[in-house]
Amino acid sequence: MSHSSVGLVKTQFFTFGDAKNPLKLRSGATLEPVIVAYETYGKLNPKKSNAILICHALTGDAHAAGKHSSKDKKSGWWDSMIGPGKTFDTNKYYIVCSNVIGGCSGSSGPNSIKPNTKKEYGVSFPVVTIADMVDVQKRLLEFLDIEHLHSIAGGSMGGMQVLEWAVRYPDFMDSVIVIASTSKLSSQSIAFDAVGRNAIISDPHWNNGNYYKMKKQPNHGLAIARMIGHITYLSNLSMNKKFGRRLQNKKTLSYDFSNEFQVESYLHHQGSVFVERFDANSYLYVTKAMDYFDLSEEYGSLKKAMKRVLSKVLIISFSSDWLFPPEQSEEIIKACLSVNKTVFYTKIESSYGHDAFLLETKRLTKLIKNFLNGIQ
């Protein structure tokens, strides 16, 4: 079967909630109206039994596949996995992907306009959790007339959303696919997030989150946050392979504080590119949602949380992922097995680190296709 793109796609929007019926968040705060940016690929079958929800990671968005125009240089963030004949085969499945609330790519977030002030929320936007994100996704699916999912899949923070779905709405899906994720952030991961947030908040142009109409934005702080985060997505092996200790465009040391090594230039580039597409305040909100995520605390223990699961579970980890290492996936496996749940697990040997969930397409395709084909 030939693999091709879903072609040109359009981001759509769903709005719900008003002053009389707002979205109630885990913090106790409320939000209205709620705007959800989403994209769909493929067609919903007459029985409405072929829908798959894709959940994106920290800096992802609803644009998971295809292109918005013929001039686009890049396709959606998981285009290698979604499309005709691909892992999530749009000849068979109806794929839905939405931007999380708190994000900055069309869904309600700190850069959205607050109804009563007609200005951006900034940090007056309420703090959201992974559970809040999932509740909003459920409202979107109901709007799309989908009452049951064939599967839900996601990597990294997307995997957290998948786990939240599995325990919060256990009878809503036949299966779940959790890739390079965890049931709770480690203190090390929280520490990296904290340093990233501090880089943003310490930027003189952050202005307590009220920078949207300013000439200068907190780009420096956001770029540093991205650089810190990006280091955690790679592995020591992949960085050594890609950069080693090679100098950038020179043969001798400068004995100054410029970006001399290739790895420095690479990180600087990643930070510069990132500020063009992401909002600094959203980085604060979404990393905080990840920090708060802890299924064992929410349900009393991880075992009690997994006891709620009714769907088949596929968990995939990567050997060189030190941000969400294999042992964190194996902890979920043990909890599932201890309460007699149907669970499949594979640790993929890869040098790509955490980013492997975006790069190991061939091996992921084989695993996921076999899993999806085995669901009755």
**According to the CATH classification, is domain 12-185+295-373 in 3.40.50.1820?**
yes
Whether the per-residue pLDDT at 213 is higher than 90: the answer is: yes
For residue 149, give the nearest of 50, 82, 40, 38 by alpha carbon.
50
pLDDT of res. 376? 56
At what angle are helices 280-292 and 187-201 packed, to 10 degrees? Answer: 160
Which DSSP letter does residue 44 get? Answer: -
Question: How far is C-alpha 96 from the geometric centre of its chain's CA atoms?
Answer: 14
The boundaries of every CATH 1.10.1740.110 domain in the chain are 192-284
The boundaries of every CATH 3.40.50.1820 domain in the chain are 12-185+295-373
CA 22, 24, 30, 35 dihedral sign is negative
The confidence band for 1, taking pLDDT boundaries of 50, 70 and 90, is: very low
The confidence band for 4, taking pLDDT boundaries of 50, 70 and 90, is: confident
Using the structure block, give the residue that is written with the tokens 């929007």.
Answer: 13
Task: Give the total residue count for the chain.
Answer: 376
Contact predicate 333/315, CB 8 Å: yes
The confidence band for 65, taking pLDDT boundaries of 50, 70 and 90, is: very high
Please provide residue 69's backbone torsions phi and psi, each rounded to the nearest 5 degrees. Answer: -155, 165
- Residues 6 or more apart whose Cβ sits within 8 Å of residue 72: none
Known catalytic residues? Answer: 156, 321, 354
Query: Is the pTM value of this prediction over 0.85?
Result: yes
Please state, in angstroms and rounded to a whole number, the distance separating the CA atoms of residues 74 and 214: 29
Contact predicate 69/51, CB 8 Å: no
The confidence band for 121, taking pLDDT boundaries of 50, 70 and 90, is: very high
CA distances 29 to 119, 121, 125, 281, Å, are 19, 14, 10, 18
List b or e across 23-58, with b for residues whose CB sees 16 or more CB atoms inside 10 angstroms: bebbeeeebbebbbbbbbbbebeeeeebbbbbbbbb
Q: Collapsing DSSP states into helix, strand and coil, what is residue 317? A: strand
Please provide residue 34's backbone torsions phi and psi, each rounded to the nearest 5 degrees. Answer: -110, 125
For residue 181, give the nearest of 289, 336, 331, 351 by alpha carbon.
331
Please state, in angstroms and rounded to a whole number, the distance separating the CA atoms of residues 137 and 98: 7
The pair of structure tokens assigned to 224 is: 């540093």
Whether the per-residue pLDDT at 2 is higher than 60: the answer is: no
Please state, in angstroms and rounded to a whole number, the distance separating the CA atoms of residues 78 and 167: 25
Whether the per-residue pLDDT at 162 is higher than 70: the answer is: yes
268-322 pLDDT, tens digit each? 999 999 999 999 999 999 999 999 999 999 999 999 999 999 999 999 999 999 9
Looking at the domain 192-284, which fold is it? Rna Polymerase Sigma Factor; Chain: A (1.10.1740)
Burial class (CB in 10 A: 0-12, 13-18, 19+), 296: middle
Question: How far is C-alpha 207 from the geometric centre of its chain's CA atoms?
Answer: 27
